[in-house]
Structure 1
Amino acid sequence: MINTKRLVRKLLVGGIATAAVATGLVAGVAGPASADPVGALAGVGSDTTQDVMNGAGDSIGNGIVGSWDAIDPITRVQHLVIAPKRNCTFNRPNGSGQGVTAIRQSGGVTAAINAPFADEADQPEAGCVDFARSSSDPGTNGSAAGRWVYVPFALDAVAVASSHFGDATATNYNALSYDASNAATGQGTLQKLYRDGATVTINGVTYDPQCNVAPCAGGATPIHLYIPQNGSGTRTYWLGKMGVTTVPAWLHDKAWDGAGYNGAIVEEHDGTVLQNDALGLAPYSISQWVGQRNGHGDRRHGAHLHSLVNTANGTAVNPLSGAFPTSETGNLNASFLIRREVYNVVEWKKVNVGNAAFDAQLYAVFGPGQGLCGKSAVILNFGFGLLNGSPLGHTCGQIADNLRAYGSD
């Protein structure tokens, strides 16, 4: 009988033969950008967790984890062809949804093969994707008998960001409110803006999300509401938290160009759209913001986070643990109003100890108490929180039936 714990431990010890062989299998495979990795386990998907997974992969070492960014890290172009393993080429997935599509395609799922994401001319060959990064949970695809399982590893929260800090507009944005008890009918001013397209008045200033250029009706101030690109897990998550079921005309995933929303695609947790639009407001992962501030792929471009007022008690909840809003010090406030677990999606049978298809190397990276979950310092340095104490119901690496998905696969 195989001693699973011993095998798992061996796979994470430097210089072991298994990792060396796995690395050799992909040696010489080059991606389109030199900053991309090569690893025995290939992962794609979420922008939110790409940086922390890069850091964790480096820390685990031994050529085991190869986590590929959501867009080309050099050219910043999306959907270019990548080659994460020998005899594997496919269009780079951009975001959680596309990453999950890619791993399902890699598993031969007909539904995913017949429903490629936009620009996906080249799908992954069998076995070419081992894990998909996801910043959203299974949602409506959840199934206790699902083929795939979302394995949690860290805590994140999402705030709104703009280009304003220390001015009257920042003060007003810090006074936006949120009703966490009911996204669909809650009367938080943030929900009224995003969900209803309604005007809201804060400190005497009325903001109109359906007016793009002043003068607006009644002397209101225009506000441009952004959401991330299609396929983004944060887009799906944020719309759910705002109570939005169908994207309305006042929400935009392309930048305002002075005449319309015809500019660049809004990439999640990238402040470019806000840098170029003083009227813009966009969701931004607090963990990503902190990680970028700490020097990990900084693409804030002057984006500043904002507080939310809890409608239940009228208390302002800050995104950071430091002296916010007078300064942007500190780390993720683990009690922020809009929180989530973040995940890696793998095939359930491969991380189910005792299953005939159990993959000790995959489990060694993603399972409870294993490689990724042993990298607390890395997780914190990249801005995320720990799942000690199950703040949202799960601990790091937990293989839970209520996080399985796609029962029809």
Structure 2
Amino acid sequence: MKLVARTVLALVAGVVAVPTAMAVTGVANADPDTSSSAYPYALNGGGSDTTEELMTDIANNVKVGGVPVIGNWSAKGGAFDTNGSAAGCSYAGNAGVAAGAGIRPDGSGAGRDRLEEAMDPSNAYFGCLDFARSSSGSTKADQTKLALAVDTLTYAVRSDSGLSKKFTLAQLQSIYQCKVPTIHPLLPQAGSGSRSVWENLMGITDAALPACINDKIQENDGTSLGTDKFAVMPYSSSQWAAQTAGVISDVHGVSALGAINSIPGLASNGAGAGVRTVYNVVSTARLNSSSPDDALLQQVFKGPNSLVCAQTASIGRQGFLPTASCGSN
């Protein structure tokens, strides 16, 4: 963040950071608490819809010197400011607005783009964000993706649909390549990490998107299926599990998860076509800096012993699997 937070000052003073005991119950909140004495938070980020609630759960349990340090901003919502009363870090809401500078980031791509702006000393938003949630890593040369957990991306249809709940990968590819006109494929919004991963699985690209695809839905929202019993959409099995268990807001609607190549998403155990690692993305330069702000960033995100990686209960509660590479590129 632009200001030197009191949590950073505590770190400089030699306070030892200890992950707090897990005490989260009920549905995770969206944006961080701006009425808290911890606001503005030392480390702020946004982006992926898939890992939004996971990082909120983690943020609720990562404290330094007893003070929360992560401001995890949701993918959808109104205006927000990561810098409190100080000027320069106000982001506009994204309802009905295209992704862009100064707009709340919705999706992995938008999160990485807004982080890139916050890394540029000549940009008005320099220092406003410290990490980006990403379900598809990052290809930007000056950013480093740090593994967080494992998810399985599978497909969903209406539970009352006559469509198969056991498509092979080849069958799904035919559907998304518009070779099965009776089935209606859906894709998340542009910039979504899940969209990128699913396109790679389906053998399609944004540059030559097949015409039959509706690519305007919000990811991991089963209500996007509407009343169409012939619609199919990608869905994070971790999100679906957490939604149906009441851990996070339940928007699975009447959706039911399918199995790809006979491997159910909820029982994949890290195996199958749609298995993917989800990440937090940070500035590469800050991972190698010894400044107090950057030391805190490293303490929270970098390496298997980082404060984020210590939150294995949050990872499990949110339906994800732990990864041995947590905190590493």
Structure 2 CA distance for aligned equivalents of residues 234 and 357 of structure 1: 34
Structure 2 CA distance for aligned equivalents of residues 154 and 28 of structure 1: 25
Could you say which residue in structure 2 is the equivalent of 1:347? 283
Q: Where does 1:253-268 land on structure 2 (aligned, <5 Å)?
A: 253-254=215-216, 266-268=217-219
Could you say which residue in structure 2 is the equivalent of 1:225? 185
Q: Where does 1:189-268 land on structure 2 (aligned, <5 Å)?
A: 189-194=171-176, 196-199=177-180, 208=181, 222-245=182-205, 246-254=208-216, 266-268=217-219
Unaligned runs of 5+ in 1: 1-5, 16-26, 73-79, 114-123, 179-187, 200-207, 209-221, 255-265, 310-315, 322-331, 389-394, 401-409
The yes-or-no answer on 1:71 pairing with 2:76 is yes
Using the TM superposition, give the Cα deviation of residue 275 of structure 1 relative to its aligned residue in structure 2, in angstroms: 3.6
Q: C-alpha deviations, 1:42-79, integer Å up to 9, x for none? A: 1110000000000000011422011011002xxxxxxx
**Pairing partner for 1:396 from 316, 323, 326:** 326
Using the TM superposition, give the Cα deviation of residue 95 of structure 1 relative to its aligned residue in structure 2, in angstroms: 0.4
1:273–1:63 Cα change, 3 Å:
same
Q: Where does 1:309-348 land on structure 2 (aligned, <5 Å)?
A: 309=261, 316-321=262-267, 333-348=269-284
**Pairing partner for 1:43 from 27, 45, 49:** 45
Retained in 2: the 8 A contact 1:11–1:364? no
Unaligned runs of 5+ in 2: 1-10, 21-31, 92-102
Structure 1 CA distance for aligned equivalents of residues 13 and 238 of structure 2: 29
Could you say which residue in structure 2 is the equivalent of 1:403? none
Using the TM superposition, give the Cα deviation of residue 293 of structure 1 relative to its aligned residue in structure 2, in angstroms: 1.9
The yes-or-no answer on 1:127 pairing with 2:159 is no
Retained in 1: the 8 A contact 2:238–2:266? no
Could you say which residue in structure 2 is the equivalent of 1:57? 59
Q: Where does 1:83-232 land on structure 2 (aligned, <5 Å)?
A: 83-86=81-84, 87=87, 88-90=89-91, 91-108=103-120, 125-138=125-138, 141=139, 146-164=141-159, 169=162, 172-178=163-169, 188-194=170-176, 196-199=177-180, 208=181, 222-232=182-192
Using the TM superposition, give the Cα deviation of residue 242 of structure 1 relative to its aligned residue in structure 2, in angstroms: 0.8
| TM-score, structure 2 as length reference | 0.79
Could you say which residue in structure 2 is the equivalent of 1:376? 312
SS at match of 2:250: coil
SS at match of 2:132: strand
Whichever of the two has the greater Rg, that structure is 1
Using the TM superposition, give the Cα deviation of residue 290 of structure 1 relative to its aligned residue in structure 2, in angstroms: 1.1
Structure 2 residue identity aligned to 1:282 = M
Q: C-alpha deviations, 1:182-202, integer Å up to 9, x for none? A: xxxxxx1111111x3112xxx
Structure 2 residue identity aligned to 1:84 = T
1:13–1:231 Cα change, 3 Å:
same
| TM-score, structure 1 as length reference | 0.64
Could you say which residue in structure 1 is the equivalent of 2:23? none
Structure 1 CA distance for aligned equivalents of residues 279 and 251 of structure 2: 22
SS at match of 2:315: helix
Structure 1 CA distance for aligned equivalents of residues 252 and 33 of structure 2: 34
The yes-or-no answer on 1:303 pairing with 2:298 is no
